[in-house]
Amino acid sequence: MKQFHKEFPKVTIRLSEILSREEVIEALVGSHVHLVITNQSINRLDMSFIPIYTENFVVLLPSNHPLQDQDVVLLADLREEKFIISKEGFQTRQDVLNTFQQSGFKPNIQIEMERFETAYSLVEQGLGITIVPENYIKYVSKNAYNIKHLSDLSISRIVYLAYMNNRYLPPNVLRFIEMVKAFFDRPTE
């Protein structure tokens, strides 16, 4: 966005948090937005989804958790834990539940939420554990909980840039799409 603002200093950008699958579809179909960055897996012929990056998930444990000294954890280690998870309609929830299903058990869901920030707070208060995308933990205090990778399974998600196929997109929006694609295609530093 910084590069975009340099090229288009007079353009106002409005960011909206559109989280669930239904909200993504409604925003795009209803012409409320030009673009959406989402991890929702939506199969529609009238929409384009450009994969821009893949990220792994990590486990967040309260600071005094019995597994805190382990370098990595097994999904089976989490079998009896009180689990905090995204509510119905969120792709992250489905990704996590699919992983548990592959392991042959269901998580002990105690709390459902919409925002990862809420999950962090609940974990910090010792109300359970959660599994979140790794990029979300870059900007939070790591003193409040333990961050662990799963050693037996890898949970990841693809994040997409989405837009309607047959809708006019202004040249500055097309340029933004180019910039996003170029940004995520660059080599890791």
Name the residue among 78, 27, 53, 80 with its Cα closest to residue 134: 53
Q: Give the pTM.
A: 0.82
| CA 179 – CA 174 distance, rounded (Å) | 9
Q: Which residue reads 């910084």 in tokens?
A: 2
Same domain, 122 and 179: no
Same domain, 81 and 138: yes
DSSP for 62-78? ETT-TTTT-SEE-GGGG
- Give the confidence band of 18 by pLDDT, cuts at 50, 70, 90: confident
Same domain, 133 and 177: no
Lookup: tokens for 144: 């409040």
Q: Which residues pair with 151 in a beta bridge?
A: none
Domain limits for position 68: 55-156
The CATH number of whichever domain residue 94 belongs to comes to 3.40.190.10
Which residue has better confidence, 128 or 149? 128
Cβ–Cβ under 8 Å, residues 84 and 113: yes
As a whole number, mean pLDDT of residues 70-96 equals: 91
Lookup: tokens for 133: 């995308």
As a whole number, mean pLDDT of residues 27-38 equals: 91
